[in-house]
């Protein structure tokens, strides 16, 4: 695993060409990915062509940070002429006729797209076990999950099968797999990155974000993909600054909130110890640690699943077997065709979310469930505002545990859902957060910590994560 910053120097000093670098990654994918299943589609031909074009830019002195850099893209982000399946039978053969805005931006700077990465079906899950194409395995221990839903993206970076990746984060789906796979993942502020071309799960929560070796790399990718997009009504109209512009700044005087609820019951002792050890690093660097509280945390997972499932039920209603995607061969009437298509095309987890969402929105239950979840959302936003009135950022664990065994929670969905407790509030409030490795447990599995920032405060949290990474001894996966 090598940082984009280091690869950039190698490309610019002609130690390696973009063509050679791309081929090296493609060769490693053929050799290693059979063990972890991080890719659904590998684009050898188009990647080789993109590498040649990138090398021309390098030779002409027109290279930018991502020119010639091999990147993977999560398979719920549309790519022109390349299958975009959402890891579902429903879209197994779907080929978009356009690029998502983020993909357009990658191509515009000469990045090389290696392929589309595996994920939980329609991004619904926290382990990448719900994929129609089989689960993604953790590069640190292939008997364990990679996290989800961007498990393939995180695993592809961790295993050295790309230099960086794009994932999507609805309730922690960039940060949690980054934590499990020992890499860095950034969930930007809602609206900072266009969602045009991202196949929707929960529109008010979804956000595309980068996964890479380091916070510096994540900032470099974000510099490319962020910005206003007229095709996305939720895109923020803001002047874009360099997201890595504060790297190297002094941390002295920074106030970091430590919310007690994130270190309570359910958080494994080794995780708690590693994150608090990271807090000590910040204290020694001159930061002030502030004890803060988020009382609504105990309701956050319930609110998240009600809101996200309600939005998913609406978004996924378009998959009816008529317009595009899988179509059942059974059914003599329109109603039977739609029913059979959805029953056969969707996996069990997706069906569960659709049922929950429709139930929460149904007459007689809307106020009891969806409306109350919306009230909790408002309260969580208020509690974050209260914390940020006295702090610059917040430090929490990324997940309550390290990566668990494949199939371990298969018959206990409640325990699986509760694993999102440390991440969902950030999506509910629309805030930025970055996860980076802060330790390893007794079995050598990575432990992640999250730094949560104020809205559009990506530069500050990237700088804080970078300062920690520069003194942390990272242990890479060995496959």
How do residues 47-61 score in pLDDT, each as one tens digit? 999 999 999 999 999
For the entire predicted model, the pTM comes to: 0.97
What angle separates helix 44-59 from helix 18-36, to the nearest 10 degrees?
150
Q: How many domains does the chain have?
A: 1
Give the active site residue among 128, 149, 156, 168.
149
CATH (domain of 88): 3.90.1300.10
CA distances from 2 to 84, 160, 173, 214 (A): 27, 7, 23, 9
Look at residue 342 and tell me if it is in a domain: no
Domain assignment present for residue 92? The answer is yes
Q: Angle at CA 111, nearest 5°, toward 109 and 113?
A: 140
Instruction: Examine residue 335 and state whether it is found in any structural domain, yes or no.
Output: no
Q: Check if 363 is active-site.
A: no
Q: How far is CA 121 from CA 79, 193, 251, 254, 432, in A?
A: 17, 22, 40, 40, 24
Q: Is residue 323 part of a domain?
A: no
* Token representation of residue 453: 């920032």
Q: What's the confidence (pLDDT) of residue 411? A: 74
What does the pLDDT read at residue 110?
98
Q: H-helix or E-strand containing 164?
A: strand 164-169
Candidates 322, 377, 374, 277; CA nearest to 90 is 322
What are the b/e assignments for 309-341, b being 16+ CB within 10 Å?
Answer: bbbbbbbbeebbbeeebbbbeeeeeeeebbbbb
Q: Determine which one of 131, 173, 235, 435 is catalytic.
A: 173
- Whole-number Å distance between alpha carbons of 28 and 17: 17
- The pLDDT value recorded for residue 127 is 96
* Nearest residue to 320 (alpha-carbon basis) of 304, 339, 303: 339
Question: How does DSSP classify residue 92?
Answer: T
Which residues touch 150 (CB under 8 Å, ≥6 apart)?
74, 117, 119, 123, 128, 165, 167, 168, 169, 173, 174, 177, 185, 211
What pLDDT score does 109 carry? 98
Tell me if 325 is assigned to some domain: no
Distance between CA atoms of residues 276 and 286, nearest Å = 16
Structure confidence by residue, pLDDT tens digits, 366-393:
989 999 999 999 999 999 999 999 999 9
Task: Give the pLDDT confidence score for residue 417 in this predicted structure.
Answer: 81
Can you spell out the DSSP letters for 242-261? -TTTTTT---TT-EEEEEGG
Asked whether residue 289 is domain-assigned, the answer is no
Whether 341 maps to a domain, the answer reads no
Boundaries of domain holding 173: 4-252+397-469
Respond yes or no: is residue 173 known to be catalytic. Answer: yes
- List the pLDDT tens digit at each of the 479 positions of the chain: 899 999 999 999 999 999 999 999 999 999 999 999 999 999 999 999 999 999 999 999 999 999 999 999 999 999 999 999 999 999 999 999 999 999 999 999 999 999 999 999 999 999 999 999 999 999 999 999 999 999 999 999 999 999 999 999 999 999 999 999 999 999 999 999 999 999 999 999 999 999 999 999 999 999 999 999 999 999 999 887 799 999 999 999 999 999 999 999 899 999 999 999 999 999 999 999 999 999 999 999 999 999 999 999 999 999 999 988 999 999 899 999 999 999 999 999 999 999 999 999 998 899 899 999 999 999 999 999 999 999 999 999 999 999 999 999 877 777 778 889 999 999 999 999 999 999 999 999 999 999 999 999 999 999 999 999 999 999 999 88
In a domain, 223, yes or no: yes
Is 149 considered catalytic here?
yes
d(CA 319, CA 298): 34
Of 17, 72, 74, 194, the catalytic one is: 74
**Residue 142 φ then ψ, to 5°:** -70, 0
């Amino acid at each position: 695993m090598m940082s984009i910053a280091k690869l950039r120097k190698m490309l610019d000093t002609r130690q390696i060409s973009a063509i050679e670098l791309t081929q090296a990654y493609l060769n490693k994918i053929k050799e290693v990915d059979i063990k972890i299943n991080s890719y659904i589609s590998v684009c050898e031909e188009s990647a080789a062509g993109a590498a040649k074009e990138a090398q021309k830019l390098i030779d002409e002195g027109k290279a930018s940070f991502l020119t010639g850099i091999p990147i993977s893209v999560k398979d719920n982000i549309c790519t022109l002429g390349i299958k975009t399946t959402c890891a579902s039978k429903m879209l197994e053969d779907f080929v978009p006729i356009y690029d998502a805005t983020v993909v357009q931006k990658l191509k515009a700077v000469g990045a090389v797209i290696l392929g589309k990465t595996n994920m939980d079906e329609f991004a619904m899950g926290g382990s990448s076990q719900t994929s129609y194409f089989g689960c993604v395995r953790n590069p640190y221990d292939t008997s364990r999950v990679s996290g989800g839903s961007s498990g393939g993206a995180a695993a592809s970076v961790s295993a050295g099968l790309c230099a960086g990746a794009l994932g999507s984060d609805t309730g922690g789906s960039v940060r949690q797999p980054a934590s499990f796979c020992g890499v860095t993942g950034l969930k930007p502020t809602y609206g900072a990155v266009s969602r045009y071309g991202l196949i929707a799960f929960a529109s008010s929560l979804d956000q595309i974000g980068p996964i890479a070796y380091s916070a510096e790399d994540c900032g470099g990718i974000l510099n490319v993909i962020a910005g206003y997009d007229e095709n996305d009504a939720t895109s923020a109209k803001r002047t874009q600054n360099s997201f890595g512009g504060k790297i190297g700044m002094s941390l002295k005087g920074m106030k970091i909130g430590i919310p007690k609820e994130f270190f309570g019951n359910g958080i494994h002792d080794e995780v708690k110890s590693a994150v608090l050890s990271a807090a000590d690093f910040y204290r020694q660097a001159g930061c002030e640690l502030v004890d803060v509280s988020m009382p609504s945390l105990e309701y956050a997972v319930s609110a998240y699943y009600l809101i996200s499932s309600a939005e998913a039920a609406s978004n996924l209603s378009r998959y009816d077997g008529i317009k595009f995607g899988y179509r059942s061969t059974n059914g003599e009437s329109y109603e039977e065709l739609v029913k059979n298509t959805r029953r056969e095309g969707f996996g069990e987890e997706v069906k569960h979310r659709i049922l929950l969402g429709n139930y929460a929105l149904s007459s007689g239950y809307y106020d009891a469930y969806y409306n109350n979840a919306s009230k909790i959302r408002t309260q969580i936003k208020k509690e974050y505002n209260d914390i940020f009135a006295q702090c610059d950022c917040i430090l929490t664990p990324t997940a309550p545990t390290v990566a668990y065994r494949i199939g371990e929670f298969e018959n206990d969905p409640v325990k699986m859902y509760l694993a999102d407790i440390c991440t969902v509030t950030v999506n509910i409030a629309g805030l930025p957060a970055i996860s980076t490795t802060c330790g390893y447990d007794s079995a050598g599995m990575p432990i992640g910590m999250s730094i949560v920032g104020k809205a559009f405060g990506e530069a500050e949290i990237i700088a804080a994560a970078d300062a920690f990474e520069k003194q942390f001894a990272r242990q890479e996966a060995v496959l």
